[in-house]
């Protein structure tokens, strides 16, 4: 049976390769710091499940110190030349998107189809995490198809992956850190405290009010925290489960799914979401990063507000009817 541990091993080996390639990159004057950062991240994926909570905390603290003191460098590995890329783009046209589309298609198929396949009475995928496992499988399939289509140098996928991760930098681990912070808040009872404050201010005398409070709360708490993963356990414990689900009978799957999407609307509106709103300016190498950063949020704001309204409507229409 394929379990989520396989995906962790794949990610760990990938980051370990990034660390090794960083050491040999003499064009990056911070190559040893980059190697240490990606090496520690690789170690966490490969062996974090075998470490104690304290050891994992020390590992994370070491990563923060490596990235926080002086920052990481930007690797610029040589893979294909700009002329080669233009030639490939002209040759393949829209077929360039085939490898990228394989990933979501495989993830969807894994969730709906592959997760139900048994081999000798044993499920092919672990029933607890079929989507994430299929996502990892989709990455491997996309890599194989991309290599067969474009025939780049054998090391190109790892070098380009390293270049991209160097551009993202420390923000690559921000979603994981904020998700962990949200779990800590939930265990500390922050959700119950927030729920009590909300119920004291807003009378929960109808499902529409509860839905609006939950969706807006997800968006606002995400704006404060910087990530919907951090907001989700707190606001779901505060409003989603006690009011929308238990008091008014909302479908928990629909409520939680749309609640998370409402949080992502807040992600598009906050400077705290560095991985969403700082990274694009860095990846595009725009000259004025601060202006570009603010421009990213301004460009996203109308869509975020509109989608938040749509999410409220969808939750109210769907959660109490299915």
Q: Residue 12: pLDDT above 90?
A: yes
Looking at the structure, do residues 311 and 198 belong to the same domain, yes or no?
yes
Q: Residue 320: name the closest of 261, 228, 260, 245 by CA.
A: 245
Instruction: Give the least confident one: 202-211, 289-298, 307-316.
Output: 289-298
What Cα–Cα distance (Å) separates residue 63 from each residue in 23, 28, 30, 66, 153?
A: 17, 19, 15, 5, 31
Q: Residue 181: name the closest of 212, 227, 213 by CA.
A: 227
Looking at the structure, do residues 293 and 232 belong to the same domain, yes or no?
yes
Say if 123 falls within a structural domain: yes
Residue/partner pairs of 280-288 with CB below 8 Å, 24 or more apart: 282/167, 282/168, 282/169, 283/164, 283/167, 283/168
Looking at the structure, do residues 194 and 99 belong to the same domain, yes or no?
no
Say if 63 falls within a structural domain: no
How far apart, in Å, do the first and last CA atoms of the chain sit? 33
Looking at the structure, do residues 306 and 210 belong to the same domain, yes or no?
yes
Q: How far is residue 47's CA from residue 68's CA, in Å, rounded to a whole number?
A: 23
Q: How far is residue 89's CA from residue 191's CA, in Å, rounded to a whole number?
A: 50
Say if 159 falls within a structural domain: no
Counted domains in the chain: 2
pLDDT in tens, 48-64: 989 998 998 899 899 98
Looking at the structure, do residues 298 and 242 belong to the same domain, yes or no?
yes
Say if 46 falls within a structural domain: no
Instruction: Give the least confident one: 86-100, 121-135, 156-170, 228-242.
Output: 121-135
Are 37 and 72 in contact by the 8 Å Cβ rule? The answer is yes
Per-residue pLDDT, 19: 94
Full domain range(s) for residue 120: 82-152
| pTM of full prediction above 0.85 | no
What's the angle, vertex CA 234, arms to CA 232 and CA 239, rounded to 5? 90
HSE-up of residue 19 (Cα within 13 Å, Cβ side): 16
- Higher-pLDDT residue of 237 and 176 is 237
Are 276 and 293 in contact by the 8 Å Cβ rule? The answer is no
- Higher-pLDDT residue of 249 and 196 is 249
Looking at the structure, do residues 205 and 133 belong to the same domain, yes or no?
no
Say if 49 falls within a structural domain: no
Looking at the structure, do residues 205 and 129 belong to the same domain, yes or no?
no
pLDDT in tens, 83-118: 888 888 888 888 989 999 999 999 888 888 877 777
Q: How far is residue 197's CA from residue 277's CA, in Å, rounded to a whole number?
A: 31
Looking at the structure, do residues 131 and 203 belong to the same domain, yes or no?
no
Q: How far is residue 185's CA from residue 24's CA, in Å, rounded to a whole number?
A: 41
The angle that helices 4-23 and 130-150 make with each other, rounded to 10 degrees, is 50
Among the candidates 152, 180, 207, a domain finishes at 152
Q: How far is residue 318's CA from residue 311's CA, in Å, rounded to a whole number?
A: 10
Per-residue pLDDT, 72: 85
Among the candidates 98, 124, 152, a domain finishes at 152
């Amino acid at each position: 049976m394929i379990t989520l541990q396989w995906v962790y091993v794949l990610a760990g080996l990938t980051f370990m390769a990034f660390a090794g390639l960083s050491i040999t990159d003499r064009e990056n004057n911070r190559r040893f710091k980059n190697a240490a950062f990606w090496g520690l991240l690789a170690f966490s994926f490969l062996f974090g499940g075998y470490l104690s909570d304290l050891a994992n905390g020390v590992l994370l603290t070491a990563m923060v110190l490596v990235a926080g003191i002086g920052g990481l460098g930007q690797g610029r590995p040589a893979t294909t030349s700009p002329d080669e890329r233009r030639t490939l783009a002209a040759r393949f046209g829209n077929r360039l998107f085939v490898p990228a589309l394989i990933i979501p298609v495989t993830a969807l198929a894994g969730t709906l189809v592959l997760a139900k396949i048994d081999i000798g009475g044993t499920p092919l995928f672990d029933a607890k995490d079929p989507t994430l496992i299929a996502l990892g499988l989709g990455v491997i399939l996309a890599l194989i198809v991309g290599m067969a289509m474009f025939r780049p140098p054998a090391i190109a996928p790892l070098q380009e992956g390293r270049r991209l991760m160097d551009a993202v930098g420390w923000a690559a681990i921000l979603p994981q850190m904020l998700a962990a912070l949200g779990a800590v808040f939930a265990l500390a009872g922050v959700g119950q405290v927030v729920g009590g404050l909300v119920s004291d201010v807003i009378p929960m005398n109808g499902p529409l009010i509860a839905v609006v409070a939950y969706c807006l709360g997800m968006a606002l708490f995400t704006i404060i925290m910087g990530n919907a993963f951090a907001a989700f356990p707190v606001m779901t414990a505060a409003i989603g489960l006690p009011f929308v689900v238990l008091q008014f009978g909302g479908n928990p799957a629909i409520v939680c799914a749309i609640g998370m999407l409402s949080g992502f609307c807040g992600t598009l509106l906050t400077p705290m979401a560095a991985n969403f709103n700082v990274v694009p300016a860095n990846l595009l190498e725009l000259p004025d990063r601060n202006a570009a950063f603010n421009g990213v949020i301004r460009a996203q704001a109308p869509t975020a507000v509109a989608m938040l309204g749509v999410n409220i409507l969808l939750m109210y229409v769907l959660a109490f009817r299915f």
